[in-house]
Amino acid sequence: MAVLPIIVAPDPRLKIVSQLVAAVDDDVRRLMDDMLDSMYAARGIGLAAAQVGVTRRVIVLDMARHDDEPAPMRLANPEIIAADSELITLQEGCLSLPEHWADVTRPQAVTVRYVDYENTVRTLDAEGMLATCIQHEMDHLDGVLFVDHISSLKRSIILRKLTKTKKLEEIS
């Protein structure tokens, strides 16, 4: 398994719509495992394949707290088949927008159909933080970042700061 570099915004690769996975085979399982390693190394709770430069509809999550056993989730071709009309606003961050946070409003609960690590179609009912995390990572598969859900002024400020940071890193 490998730790893959995570793409940082602004980067046009983060705006690409990902393609469906034909089947969860050994290559996709390897990608899922590498994504989990990358997510853990970056101390995140979710990661989409698009964030590591792979335009496949794959996300990984682990909502376990630091003192709990890891509880990794691997989802290919996730699709929301039902969403609660009740909304919840939570503060979101993103490994592709390091050190930036904003309140985002999303459905409080969702039902997701996906293909698991064993290539079996499953459904998952998620609510609260898990539902938010799944929706956040699924957005990446469609080229959407959490800052696309906030005001253009706040989005612009965050993206300008990230651009400045990238330029400073290139000079160093």
Q: 95: Cβ–Cβ under 8 A, 6 or more apart, which residues?
A: 6, 39, 42, 44, 47, 51
What is the β-pairing status of strands 87-94 and 73-83? unpaired
The pLDDT tens digits of the residues spanning 92-106 come to 999 999 999 999 999
> In this predicted structure, what is the pLDDT of residue 25?
98
CB 141 within 8 A of CB 57: yes
Q: Does 6 map to a domain?
A: no
> In this predicted structure, what is the pLDDT of residue 170?
78
Total domain count for the chain?
A: 1
> CATH number for the domain including 20?
3.90.45.10
Q: Does 99 map to a domain?
A: yes
Q: Does 4 map to a domain?
A: no
> In this predicted structure, what is the pLDDT of residue 149?
93
Give the structural domain span for 141: 12-171
> In this predicted structure, what is the pLDDT of residue 169?
75
Q: Does 1 map to a domain?
A: no
Catalytic residue at 69? Answer: no
Residues of the chain with pLDDT under 70: 172
Q: Does 149 map to a domain?
A: yes
Q: Does 95 map to a domain?
A: yes
Q: Does 7 map to a domain?
A: no
CB 109 within 8 A of CB 127: yes
Q: Which of 86, 99, 127, 137 is catalytic?
A: 137
Q: Does 153 map to a domain?
A: yes
Q: Please state, in angstroms and rounded to a whole number, the distance separating the CA atoms of residues 22 and 76.
A: 9
> In this predicted structure, what is the pLDDT of residue 146?
96
